[in-house]
Amino acid sequence: MTLESHEYTLASGLESIAPLVSTAEETPHPITTTIKGTIPTWINGSFLRNGPGKFEFGEDRYTHWFDGMAMMHRFHICEGNVTYSSRFLRSDSYVLNSERNRIVVSEFGTLAMPDPCKNIFARFFSRFTIPKATDNAGVNFVKYKGDYYVSTETNYMRRVDPQSLETKEKVDWSQYVAVNAATAHPHYDRDGATYNMGNSYGTSGFFYNIIRVPPPEENAAKEDSEDLNGAQVICSIQASESRKPSYFHSFVMSENYIVFVEQPIKLDLLKFMLYRIAGKSFHKVMTWDPTYETIFHLVNRHTGKKSEVKYCAAPMFTLHQINAFEDSGFLVMDMCCGDDGEVIADYTLENLRRDTGEEMDKFYNSMCRNLPRRYVLPLSVDEETPLDQNLVTLPNYKATAKKTNPGEVYMTHEELHDDELLQYGGLEFPQINYDQYNGRPYRYFYACGFGHVFGDSLLKMDVHTKELKVWRYPGFFPSEPVFVASPRATEEDDGVVLSVIITPREEKSTFLLVLDAKTFTELGRAEVPVNIPYGTHGVFNGMG
Measured distance CA(520)–CA(372) in Å, rounded: 20
3-state secondary structure at position 284:
helix
Contact by Cβ (8 Å): 148, 163: no
Please tell me the distance from the alpha carbon of residue 179 to that of residue 138, in angstroms, as a whole number: 20
Q: Where in 132-204 does DSSP place strands (E)?
A: 140-144, 147-151, 156-160, 167-172, 181-182, 187-188, 194-202
64 is in an annotated binding site: no
Cα diameter, the chain: 71
320 marked ligand binding residue = yes
Decide if 486 contacts 495 (C-beta within 8 A). yes
User: How far from 355 is each of 15, 17, 323, 527, CA to CA, in Å?
Assistant: 7, 8, 37, 27
> What is the three-class DSSP state of 345?
helix
**Phi, psi dihedrals of residue 495, rounded to the nearest 5°:** 160, -160
| Alpha carbons 246 and 206: distance in angstroms, whole number | 10
Q: Nearest-CA neighbor of 455 among 502, 498, 525, 420?
A: 502
Indicate the SS3 state at residue 68.
coil
Which residues have a Cβ under 8 Å from the Cβ of 160 and sit 6 or more positions away?
Answer: 72, 89, 141, 148, 149, 150, 166, 167, 168
Q: Is 185 annotated as a binding residue?
A: yes
Cβ neighbourhood burial of 298 (10 Å; 0-12, 13-18, 19+): buried
DSSP state of 354: P
Q: Is 417 annotated as a binding residue?
A: no
Report how far apart, in Å, the C-alpha atoms of 24 and of each of 64, 96, 109, 161, 267 are: 17, 19, 20, 21, 33
Residues 6+ apart with CB under 8 A from 430: 320, 321, 322, 336, 372, 445, 446, 447
Which distant-in-sequence residues (6+ apart) come within 8 Å of 434 by Cβ? 188, 483
d(CA 20, CA 22): 6
User: CA 160 to CA 424: how far, in whole Å?
Assistant: 36
> Binding site: residue ranges?
185, 249, 320, 537
> Binding site for Fe cation: residue ranges?
185, 249, 320, 537
